[in-house]
Amino acid sequence: MAAQELDRVASLPGAPSYSYAFKHYSGYVTTDERLGKALFYWFFEAMEKPDDKPLVLWLNGGPGCSSVGFGQAQELGPFLVKKDVPELELNPCQLAVPGLSSGCWIFVHEHVLRNRSTGRQFHGWFQRFPQHKMKEFYIAGESYAGHYIPQLANLIVDENKKASRENYINFKGILIGNAYMDGDTDLQGIVDSSWHHAIISDTLYATYLRSCNFSAEVLSRECEVALGQFNVLHDLIDIYSLYAPNCERGYPDFNTSFSPQIGPTTSRFDLLRIPMGYDPCTQTYATEYLNREDVQRALHANTTGVSYPYSLCRDSINVLWHDSDKTVLPIVKKLAQEGLRIWIFSGDTDGRIPTTSTRYTLKKLGLPIKEDWSPWFTHKQVGGWSVVYDGLTFVTVRGAGHMVPTSRPEQALQLFEHFLANRNLPSKPF
- Catalytic residue numbers read 143, 350, 402
In 292-340, DSSP assigns E strands to: none
Strands (E), 151-279: 171-177
Burial tier of 288 (Cβ tally within 10 Å: 0-12, 13-18, 19+): middle
Best CA proximity match to 63, nearest among 269, 232, 219, 234: 269
Q: Give every CB contact of residue 286 below 8 A, 6+ residues apart in sequence.
A: 69, 70, 73, 74, 81, 312
Q: CA-to-CA distance for 428 and 430, rounded, in angstroms?
A: 6
CB 240 within 8 A of CB 278: yes
Cβ atoms 141, 56 nearer than 8 A? no
- Asked if residues 275 and 283 have their Cβ atoms less than 8 Å apart, the reply is yes
N-to-C CA span, the chain: 45
Taking Cα atoms as reference points, which of 390, 384, 369 lies closest to residue 418?
Answer: 384
What angle separates helix 355-365 from helix 329-337, to the nearest 10 degrees?
Answer: 60
Task: Identify residue 368 by its one-letter amino acid code.
Answer: P
Q: Classify residue 211 by burial, with Cβ atoms within 10 Å: 0-12, 13-18, 19+.
A: middle
Q: How far apart are CA 181 and CA 50, in angstroms?
A: 33
Helix, strand, coil percentages (3-state) for the chain, rounded to 5, are 35, 20, 45
